[in-house]
Amino acid sequence: MGQFSVTIPTTAGSVLSDIQQTRSFCYVDDLVEAFFRMMETDASVTGPINLGNPGEFTIRELAEKTMTLTGFGSQLTRMPLPVDDPKQRQPDISNAKAIMNWEPTIALDEGLERTIAYFRHRLPELVEA
């Protein structure tokens, strides 16, 4: 895995490398479903079969959505892009669709809302532990 170019927004600020980089995000429930479907395929199915979400968002869009949903009004700060960090990541899931009849169903906004709700619920427990 490569380096992450974004930190979670905090009241202290968010750091972005190249805000025009794009990424695709796949919610864990969708990936787990894909793993189960892969395990259920015939033994002759080997791969590779790319998994992920072909929906593509800029790092700026992700940061802005996260700040809006969390209520943090952080300032975005641009930093140099790491040399080996790709400007675009978008999986080709055509094999997953054709072989496993799978594609992600949870959109970025819904995944972020679920993730934020989870951590809002869990953080008090984690801080006390």
Exposed e or buried b per residue across 29-48, where buried means at least 16 C-beta atoms within 10 angstroms of its C-beta: ebbebbeebbeeeeeeeeee
Q: What angle do CA 97, 101, 102 make, to 5 degrees?
A: 70
pLDDT at 18 over 60: no
- The first and second tokens of residue 14, run together, are 């968010």
**Are 53 and 24 in contact, with CB atoms under 8 Å apart?**
yes
**Are 10 and 75 in contact, with CB atoms under 8 Å apart?**
no
Is the peptide bond prior to 124 cis by the omega test (within 30 degrees of 0)? no
| pLDDT class of 126 with cuts at 50, 70, 90 | low
- Say which DSSP state 40 is in: T
- Sign of the alpha-carbon dihedral angle for 28, 34, 37, 39: negative
- pLDDT for 100: 96
CA distance readout (Å), 93 to 14, 31, 45, 125, 126: 31, 12, 15, 37, 36
> What pTM was computed for the model?
0.74
Domain annotation for the chain: domains and CATH numbers: 14-128 (3.40.50.720)
pLDDT tens-digit profile of 37-54? 999 999 999 889 999 999
